[in-house]
């Protein structure tokens, strides 16, 4: 597996290969066909399958409404939200229709759709194009939320998402698009609902996702020089969480640091922290720590955006603080 490609090319390759394998898969969204998407993720698809790549109106509600109808007819739409922030425009179609279909029809019908959502801050896109939307959707039974952090995960998780019978929100962090990593040429899928133990450790469990995984890996290497052994858990599927893997890790280390881009209130860090405190409080050697964004909109000014978003030094500080107990 010596070939290295970018995160964005890994997603593109997954789409090409899965569409080659399954003729029911098609793509739709704003400028995803002839132009190949605003970020170039769907390039080349329209040239191969002009009748399976559709440019839509500038209407997220229409994109998701069409996706729901197509899924009910047996197709597998992969819809792109150019910016995840605008999931609010199609919230009703996603939350009140797609997420509830399987339950309403007792498993005889479902909305097998993938919503590719471009998420996160860090590239100075300001208030309406820099938000992390997963907390908005984590309270919706019936939805699945996946979050890759490497090109390898990006390809495998997208294939797994397309094959999953449930509506899946597939998060693509903007800062990861140019990240390169080893990716097999052949088609493969990564199992949803299963977290990955990225690094084994004995002193602190650190849970992180997407760009925060880079902070976690770097911090673990730095802290090892100080004699602190960090175990890193990558959820991969943010909702529903792989509770067992996280609980088992914290029970072993006795300490927990959760690193999350996005406001602290009601994020996945809050859910993981509550889950650990509720189930294995007696195993904790120190109060858990959450490293998150500030509870404020993401500013446009670069220095202010950096101030609001979690930084690498914040991760180091949190780990050292839990080790003080």
Burial 200-234 (b: 16+ CB within 10 A, else e): ebebbbbbbbbbbbbbbbebbeebeeeebebbbbb
CB of 319 closer than 8 Å to CB of 228: yes
Which 8-state DSSP code applies to residue 242?
Answer: -
Tally the C-alpha atoms within 13 A of residue 85's C-alpha that lie toward its C-beta: 14
Dihedral of the alpha carbons of 168, 296, 130, 176, in degrees to the nearest 10: -80
CA 200 from chain centre, in angstroms, equals: 22
**Set 16, 51, 128, 129: catalytic member:** 129
The three-state DSSP-derived secondary structure of 14-62 is HHHHHHHHCCCEEEEECCCCCCCCCCCCCCCHHHHCCCCEEECCCCHHH
Query: Residue 134 has which token pair?
Result: 């997963």
Query: Residue 255 has which token pair?
Result: 């300490």
Integer Cα distance of 178 and 6 in angstroms: 5
Could you confirm whether 16 is annotated as catalytic?
A: no
Active site residues: 129
């Amino acid at each position: 597996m010596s070939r290295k490609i970018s995160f964005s090319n890994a997603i593109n390759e997954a789409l090409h290969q899965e569409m080659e394998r399954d003729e029911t898969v098609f793509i739709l969204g704003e400028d995803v066909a002839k132009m190949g998407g605003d970020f170039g993720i769907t390039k080349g698809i329209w040239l191969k399958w002009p009748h399976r790549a559709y440019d839509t109106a500038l209407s997220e509600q229409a994109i998701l409404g069409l996706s729901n109808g197509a899924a009910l007819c047996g197709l597998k739409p992969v819809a792109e939200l150019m910016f995840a922030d605008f999931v609010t425009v199609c919230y009703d179609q996603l939350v009140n229709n797609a997420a509830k279909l399987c339950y309403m029809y007792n498993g005889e019908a479902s909305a097998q759709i993938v919503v590719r959502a471009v998420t996160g801050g860090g590239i100075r896109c300001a208030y309406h194009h820099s938000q992390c939307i997963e907390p908005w959707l984590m309270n919706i039974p019936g939805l699945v939320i996946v979050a890759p952090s490497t090109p390898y995960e990006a390809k495998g998780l997208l294939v797994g998402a397309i094959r999953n019978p449930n509506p899946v929100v597939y998060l693509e962090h903007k800062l990861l698009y140019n990240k390169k990593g080893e990716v097999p040429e052949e088609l493969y899928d990564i199992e949803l609902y299963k977290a990955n133990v990225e690094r084994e450790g004995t002193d602190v469990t650190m849970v992180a996702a997407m760009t925060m995984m880079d902070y976690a890996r770097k911090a673990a290497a730095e802290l090892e020089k100080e004699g602190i052994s960090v175990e890193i858990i990558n959820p991969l599927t943010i909702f529903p969480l792989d509770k067992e893997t996280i609980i088992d890790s914290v029970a072993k280390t006795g300490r927990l640091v959760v690193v999350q881009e996005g406001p602290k209130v009601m994020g996945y860090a809050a859910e993981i922290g509550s889950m650990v405190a509720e189930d294995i409080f007696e195993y904790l050697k120190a109060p858990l720590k959450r490293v998150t964004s500030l509870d404020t909109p993401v500013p446009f000014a670069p220095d202010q955006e950096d101030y609001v978003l979690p930084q690498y030094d914040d991760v180091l500080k949190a780990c050292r603080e839990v080790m003080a107990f």
